[in-house]
Amino acid sequence: MRNRKPVYILTSLFITSFAIIGMLAFLSKKAITKKNGFSRRLLTSALIPRKQITVPTKLVKLISMQSGKIFFQEESPYEILSTNFSLDSLHAIKLHLSADKKLGTNVRMFIQDHHLYLASRDMPAIITYDLESGNAYNHVLRDYFNQETMFSTDHFILKARDRASESHRFIKLDLNIKDSIPEDNFSDRKVIGGFETSGKLYYDTATKQACYSYFYQNGFICMDSNLNLTLKARTIDTITHRDIKVARIARSLTMKQPPQLINYNGCVADGKLFLESMLKADNEYELDFNENSIVDVYSLKDGGYKGSFYLPAYKGKKAHQFQVIDQKLYALYGKTVVLYDLEFIADL
Amino acid sequence: MKKVKLSLAALVLIIAIAGTATANANADQLEPCKTFDPKEQICLGGSDLECCEDGGGIRNYP
């Protein structure tokens, strides 16, 4: 009888420890700490990974899909990767470009037919590379830029820095016409530096608009290919002002302190903007928000909010880039690409 | 003759100083953020988040 006492003690300790863990997990789900003053409407419980592929090097960007292939940009600008839609195969395509120090991490690639475009922000230039012949041509630009999107063959919209005023504005670039570079008429030329209006530029083929979402302020804008403002929309957060202080150190401009990110990653597809928000809604659990990326969906026709979903982390890492193609979401996690079904967006 | 030599020497000196100053200014302009991040430890680039900018270009955070 005396020998059984430790068994009882151990059993009760075991049950108590589980009860405590359960209670703490329940309380952590209940604990909604910081209020940001807005709510989200979740479209689905969780995205389920359908397929995945791991490649030898870190991926920077999903370039594009065409002819049944998906192209990926690697950290090195001298090679790109291609796979099929279901991520079953992998091919490396070597780019025979002459080595250049400025052709480093600040390059974003685009593909149209057999033409690969390398937008080099550090040069500044757009390099056209023929994937069939291996010939390259360097289109050197006057102004530095830090966002770019291609809207048709040889045509780009860039967010570029004006050397004289130090302000940033959108410019339209036709690689075949070098003399005339039209500028938008809505950017504020009094804002010095690109920090306050930092963001991400996309092109939606469905609505034929270039759209730009802000990193540090509420909302997004869209423009047509002639740089006319077509949409100015609010995002669901309640941020009303941008708290950015620009510091001038000799000739350089920087920010005095890192501001709160409002929205960061994003992509456009079929008339919708998929925007990763960095702010937790009041009806969200801290744990869900911290362990996943929350993506808000907006219409690019009227700017309306459609709903949100969680993009899961992979091996503890959040996606650093994602792209929606044909109701499928491809998320990049370092060297891994994960494919998720996104069928519910068809009804939005 | 001595005055001419002295004037020429002064002129050469002025041109040399002005040339060096211009070359340095141009070097600063060519290398982005040289004054803010001279050792290139902060604005390493890679992300879309802007870190620093000047006449030499725009640098982003890693």
CA distance B2 to chain A (A): 42
**Average pLDDT rounded to a whole number, residues A276-293:** 95
Confidence of residue A310 (pLDDT cuts 50, 70, 90): very high
Residues 6 or more apart in contact with residue B28 via CB below 8 angstroms: A250, A251, B34, B35, B54, B55, B56
Its ipTM equals 0.82
> B32–A122: do the CB atoms touch at under 8 Å?
yes
Helix (H) / strand (E) element for A117: namely: strand A115-120
CA angle A51, A53, A59 (to 5 degrees): 125
Instruction: Write down the pLDDT at residue A154.
Output: 96
The residue among A257, A255, A308, A302 whose CA lies nearest residue A279 is A308
Q: Which of A147, A195, A252 has its CB closest to that of B36?
A: A252
Span B1-59, pLDDT tens digits:
677 777 877 777 677 666 665 555 555 456 778 888 888 888 888 899 999 999 999 99
Q: Does A256 touch chain B (CB under 8 A)?
A: no
pLDDT computed for residue A221 by the predictor: 98
Sorted by sequence, the CB contacts under 8 Å of residue A64 that are 6+ apart come out as A70, A71, A110, A111, A112
A window 42-61, beta carbon within 8 A of B = 60
Is residue A332 pLDDT above 70, yes or no? yes
In angstroms, the Cα distances linking A116 to A77, A112, A212 are 11, 7, 23
Nearest to A251 among B28, B44, B46 (CB): B28
Residue with the bigger pLDDT between B18 and A93: it is A93
Quick check: pTM over 0.90?
A: no
State how far the Cα of A127 lies from the Cα of A96, in Å rounded to an integer. Answer: 12
> What's A269's DSSP letter?
E
pLDDT at A49: 94
Distance CA A278, CA A152 (A): 31
| pLDDT on residue A251 | 86
- pLDDT exceeds 70 at position A262: yes
Q: Which residue of A has its CA nearest to B54?
A: A252
Here the tokens at position A186 are 């809505």
- The band of A335, judged by pLDDT with boundaries at 50, 70 and 90, is very high
User: How much is the pLDDT for B11?
Assistant: 73
Q: Is the dihedral of CA A210, A211, A215, A217 positive or negative?
A: positive
> Would you say residue A126 has pLDDT above 70?
yes
Average pLDDT over residues A308-328: 95
- Rounded Cα distance between B53 and A147, Å, is 14
Provide the β-strand partners of residue A30: none
**pLDDT tens readout for residues A209-246:** 999 999 999 999 999 999 999 999 999 999 888 889 99
Predicted pLDDT of residue A301: 96
DSSP state of A174: E
CB count in 10 Å sphere of residue A9:
10
ω before A124 within 30° of 0 (cis)? yes
Is 80 exceeded by the pLDDT of residue A77? yes
pLDDT at residue B23, as a whole number: 54
CA distances from A140 to A145, A202, B10 (A): 12, 22, 41
Q: What are the tens digits of pLDDT across the range A6-57? A: 888 888 888 888 888 878 777 765 555 678 999 999 998 789 999 999 999 9
Q: Across chain A, what does the average pLDDT equal?
A: 92
- pLDDT tens sequence across A145-164: 999 999 999 999 999 999 99
What mean pLDDT comes out for the span A241-253? Answer: 88
Exposure string for A197-230, b = 16+ CB within 10 A, e = fewer: bbbbbbbbeebebbbbbbbbbbbbbbbeeebeeb
